[in-house]
Amino acid sequence: MNTPDVLIVGGGIGGLSTAFALSRLGLRVRVLERSKEFGEVGAGIQLAPNCTRILDDYGLLEEAKARGVVPDRMVMRDAIDGSELTALDLRDLEQEYGFPYMVIHRSDLHTLFLDACRATGVELLTEQRVVSYAQDPGKAAATTDTGTVHEAGVVVAADGLHSVARTLFSDDEPVSSAYVAYRGTVPISEVDQPVDLAEVVVYVGPRCHFVHYGLRGGDLLNQVAVFESPRARAGLDDWGTPDELDSAFTETCDFVQQRLPHMWRDKWWRMYDRDPIRTWVDGRIALLGDAAHPPLQYMAQGAIMAIEDGWVLAEHTKRLRGTDGAVDWAGALAAYEAVRPEHCRRVVLTARAWGELWHLDGRKRAQRNVLLRARKTGDYTFTDWIYGPTALFPDDEPAMFEPIPLEAADRVIGGPAGTRASASLGPISR
């Protein structure tokens, strides 16, 4: 095999989007996928303006919109009484940031990037399980379980939550949130109650939440039920089972309970992230996507961050490519590492706080609801830091928002505040 300029380990959304971004610069790119074929599991994914801006730059936005849905509103409701807490006018949001908020099936987005990679000549190899990495001056290599050695000028590890390459940078382990997600897509013709597909809706409740929105032009209803597992908290191995699903939502409103029988019950996803790390580059080897920054799902930014990683790396590669075509990889990787870890650290930690806020009970739930209801629909204070243009340099990174303490609601509902917590108002997640 010819030696490529870039070797990417992992053929998910992050790996393929990065492969496309680099191949469109004329670089030779090879992608190694461990499975027998390229594909994505799961259901819906949300793409905020910081992602659709990149899709537009890639010339893929219109095709993505054709495969997905561009909703009108994003709504947060209380899962117990069903009342509306706050909302975003997504058409106004598009005017604010210049690009739409859309939803799409994960497999459709993955296929979009896979087709784009094929069109630009990316070399796509399957059944390539990478078990180790090495490097010499001027090149890096990944070795598979069959002993095959793939060399390239640079190796980008986009090999997910359980990344082999991450062990070069950290001895950490995934962090369990004790939450589990059930998913289910249902043909809209089979939905037995009214559902407004112009809305992305999340019902937030004590230790649980439920999300729904349309997919594939409104032909499918995507649903996600997430809850805290008592068995996980007790340290048991068998956790997140269907009986726990049913128990977790017993106090929720009728709409949510009526949707639970339509979830896939033979598969569930346990929710993990990792503590942020600052170092993503070692010589000619770099981490990308969940290998570097796996988040919890509450900010709906996991796949987006991976797409942003690839875009930033490609932009610096283009900037530091000489007239002879040679890339200053040391400079490009240094520039990549200078900006992305801090942004992704913010997202990972904010996602944790946002998840805590969603799942409050008792007095804190009441405080949260007061603050959310007080938010004005056109207030983008809590989204500017994340929905704006992706930063290429540290000085481009916008300032974070100022958290609102829950006790700020006390003047409305009265009484002592108790333990301080922050209502980190931000985007609604999948």
Q: Report DSSP state, residue 76.
A: E
DSSP 219-270: TEEEEEEEEE-HHHHTT-SS-S-HHHHHHHTTTS-HHHHHHGGGS--S--EE
Of 309 and 42, the structure prediction assigns the larger pLDDT to 309
* Total Cβ atoms within 10 A of residue 61: 19
**Residue 124 pLDDT exceeds 90:** yes
In terms of Cα–Cα distance, which of 294, 284, 300, 270 is closest to 336? 284
Please identify which residue in the block is written with the tokens 């956790």.
Answer: 239
The reported pTM is 0.95
**Residue 156 pLDDT exceeds 70:** yes
Q: For residue 414, what pLDDT is reported?
A: 58
Cα(295)–Cα(97) distance, integer angstroms: 24
Between the alpha carbon of residue 397 and those of residues 51, 339, 386, the distances in Å are: 16, 8, 9
The domains located in the chain, with CATH, are 6-42+59-64+104-173+275-351 (3.50.50.60), 355-423 (no CATH)
Long-range contacts of 315-321 (CB under 8 A, 24+ apart): 315/392, 316/392, 317/22, 317/25, 317/27, 318/25, 321/25
What number is the average pLDDT over the span 18-43? 93
Length of the chain measured in residues: 430
Of 414 and 121, the structure prediction assigns the larger pLDDT to 121
What number is the average pLDDT over the span 197-217? 96
Q: Give the catalytic positions in this structure.
A: 213
Residue 256: exposure state from Cβ atoms within 10 A (0-12, 13-18, ≥19): buried
